[in-house]
Amino acid sequence: GLCAFAVAQTPPSTTPATQTPTVITLREAIRRAQANEPVFAAAVAQSKSSALDRSIARSSLLPSVVYHNQVLYTQPNGLLNQAGQGAGAQPSPRFIANNAVREYASQGIVNETIGLKRLADVRLADAASAQADAELEVTRRGLVTAVVRLYYSAIASDTKLTVARRAASEAAGFTTLTRERERAREVAHADVVKAELQQQQRQRDLSDADVAAERAHLELATLLFPNPLTPYTLEPPAANTALVPFQDVQAEAAKNNPEMKSALAVMKASDADVL
């Protein structure tokens, strides 16, 4: 009872300010999708891993160098001996295994092994890296295509929603006007019923357009934000520019086709396995 009384006496808190929607351009949408899409992130990681494997395979062809540098110290036995011609006496070591109390040794070893297996491994790593890069480009283009399609679909759904709202408002005004004319005995009751049916149809169209716009925004938000419920608005696209001639599109597609590059990389990897 005390808790309920305390809650009842507490003045109502003010409603927190709604979050300002983020304005998203097409370029920003593509950037956000590349930063949040897990499949694209996996393709990027695979490309980097293949590049590291390629670097390791190439480094295996380089020679290895090992350098040793050491100092041996032996406790003297208290006696002195002649170090050599022109040199003074020096302490004699306690153990006969060493030549002097302090000995310095330096040794360097350079080793290189070259074999056909290592050359084949380098070719295989090169092919795997090229394949990973091609697959990354395929994933990137697919992601960009999906973002562009959803982006313009959301803008089109917003436009349809605006038109549906205007149509519903005009239908409601027309129904009101028809009822007033009926009261003035200028139209029959059948005209009022027809106007009401048209108004109901426009309301259904408005509901369908509202659902379609919300679905389009949620589909795009799943690629742009970790939370699909993040509010955002889309910036209308700029004026349409002239399209590239179809012949140029065909030439660029044949020259820069990542799927063809991936297939060629797989063939090179198979040749390396055979080698």
Least confident among 36-40, 69-73, 136-140, 189-193: 69-73
Query: Is residue 86 predicted with pLDDT exceeding 80?
Result: no
Place of tokens 């091609």: 134
| Helix, strand or coil, per DSSP, at residue 220 | helix
Instruction: Give the per-residue pLDDT at 259.
Output: 78
For residues 69 and 275, which has the higher predicted lDDT (pLDDT)? 69
Helices vs. strands in the chain: H and E counts, helices first: 7, 6
Instruction: Give the per-residue pLDDT at 197.
Output: 94
Average pLDDT over residues 63-71: 88
Least confident among 97-106, 133-142, 217-226: 97-106
Residue 226, φ and ψ in degrees, nearest 5: -60, -35
Query: Is residue 119 predicted with pLDDT exceeding 50?
Result: yes
Asked if 25 contacts 235 with a C-beta cutoff of 8 angstroms, the reply is yes
Instruction: Give the per-residue pLDDT at 78.
Output: 65
Instruction: Kindly indicate the confidence band of residue 7, based on its pLDDT and cuts at 50, 70 and 90.
Output: very low
Average pLDDT taken over every residue of the chain: 83
Asked if 132 contacts 47 with a C-beta cutoff of 8 angstroms, the reply is yes
Q: What is the pLDDT of residues 10-64, one digit of tens each?
A: 444 444 445 688 888 889 999 999 998 899 999 999 999 999 999 998 888 888 8
Instruction: Give the per-residue pLDDT at 77.
Output: 64
Instruction: Give the per-residue pLDDT at 80.
Output: 66
Instruction: Kindly indicate the confidence band of residue 215, based on its pLDDT and cuts at 50, 70 and 90.
Output: very high
Average pLDDT over residues 72-95: 65
Helix axes 116-183, 26-36, angle to 10 degrees: 130
Instruction: Give the per-residue pLDDT at 47.
Output: 92
> What is the spatial distance between Cα 29 and Cα 219, in angstroms, rounded to a whole number?
12
Instruction: Give the per-residue pLDDT at 261.
Output: 79
